[in-house]
Amino acid sequence: MRKKSKTLTIAGHTIARGQTQDLMLDVSQQYTGSPIQLPIRVIRSTKAGPTVLITAAVHGDEFSGVGIIHELMHADDLNPLIGTIIVVPVVNVFGFETQERYMPDRRDLNRCFPGSESGSLSARFAHIFFSELVMHADFCIDLHSAAVPRTNYPNVRGDFRDADVRRLCRAFGCELMLDSKGPDGSLRREATKAGCPTMILEAGEPCKLEPSIHEVGLRGVKNVLRILDMLPGEVVKPPYQSLIKQGIWVRASIGGILRFHVSPGQIVEEGQPIATNADVFGQEQSVLVSPVEGIILGMTTLPAIKPGEPVCHVAIPTKSMKQIRKILKDSNRSGLYHQVRKDMASSISKRDITQSDNDASWAPSVNVPED
Ligand SMILES: [Zn+2]
């Protein structure tokens, strides 16, 4: 843990123990010279303890983390027993204004950390963020959703070689976890390297607020704060947990319009229909099937498809599918797992599959799409 002093100084403001303060950090300037500022909330206990940084919208169009932070800010029990919570609801304030994933210089902010003082616009912003916030934090939870036009079944990612990252990921409580360092320049990779163990959540769609996704995120953030002794209570566990052994992308081989037969989080058999591909007049052309038994980790939300474009991403967990099926069969039907699955299944077509020609274009990949 980083060396602790009684006061914490961010954006030139000193926050004493026991105080909560909203701050604006100057991160850049408009063409007019007006400051561009980053809103930050700091919540400090009267007692010493870890500093946890919680960030969202590093990609400017990803609202799910913003929604999770809003739920967290309204939680009755958000009074840390020890330590400090630093919350940044919108990191990429540039992209957020224009509803874009990227920065105005067309860079991905999540490839620019730790940044540099004299570099590009994105590098300078990353540097200010890193030196003013990450370097004060002992742990970081970075909240993401899928990129346009996809959705992700909630899953956590982090470098499991780091014992603290592993502990955060497991405590968060998603069923599926991916052990990976993350891309060069990503917040999680660079912050972990700089001594601030960082995990991410990948959940839901961009440009959308999804209440059950927020509930997963809220439960997860609180679980992490609980294992750090910052909040009272027990960790709430998911029905099962497993690492992802491999991910396989199912891609279309002909252009058309898709009707989906599966939804995120669903267990699929090898050969199970994933989507029916119809031509522009609605005539069925082919049926895409799952090449393996696994769990739907991500899907396109755009029904229009061209050859080679991804339709869905099937995760093969390390835990046996037989065991997972049994656990889920015996699990509480009114629990959050089933609610999330139900809410994410709204695009499933009720029409029967009539075409029998399979169109199984797929490619194995160990690389789950990057954060
Ligand atoms: Zn993202």
Q: What is the pLDDT of residue 366?
A: 44
- How do the pLDDT tens digits run along the chain, 371 residues long? 665 667 899 999 999 999 999 999 999 999 999 999 999 999 999 999 999 999 999 999 999 999 999 999 999 889 999 999 999 999 999 999 999 999 999 999 999 999 999 999 999 999 999 999 999 999 999 999 999 999 999 999 999 999 999 999 999 999 999 999 999 999 999 999 999 999 999 999 999 999 999 999 999 999 999 999 999 999 999 999 999 999 999 999 999 999 999 999 999 999 999 999 999 999 999 999 999 999 999 999 999 999 999 999 999 999 999 999 999 999 988 899 999 999 999 888 877 666 545 555 555 444 555 66
Q: How far is the CA of 267 from the centre of ligand 1 (A)?
A: 25
Q: What is the pLDDT of residue 76?
A: 83
The full 3-state SS of the chain, as one line of letters, equals CCCCCCEEEECCEEEECCCEEEEEEEEEECCCCCEEEEEEEEEECCCCCCEEEEEECCCCCCCHHHHHHHHHHHCCCCCCCCCEEEEECCCCHHHHHHCCCCCCCCCCHHHCCCCCCCCCHHHHHHHHHHHHCHHHCCEEEEEECCCCCEEEEEEEEECCCCHHHHHHHHHHCCCEEEECCCCCCCHHHHHHHCCCCEEEEEEECCCCCCHHHHHHHHHHHHHHHHHCCCCCCCCCCCCCCEEEEEEEEEECCCCEEEEECCCCCCEECCCCEEEEEECCCCCEEEEEECCCCEEEEEEECCCEECCCCEEEEEEEECCCHHHHHHHHHCCCCCCHHHHHHHHCCCCECCCCCCCCCECCEEEEECCCCCC
Q: How far is the CA of 144 from the centre of ligand 1 (A)?
A: 4
Q: How far is the CA of 178 from the centre of ligand 1 (A)?
A: 15
Q: What is the pLDDT of residue 4?
A: 62
pTM: 0.94
Q: What is the pLDDT of residue 282?
A: 95
Q: How far is the CA of 145 from the centre of ligand 1 (A)?
A: 5
- Domains of the chain with CATH codes: 7-227 (3.40.630.10), 244-365 (2.40.50.100)
Q: How far is the CA of 92 from the centre of ligand 1 (A)?
A: 10
Q: How far is the CA of 58 from the centre of ligand 1 (A)?
A: 6
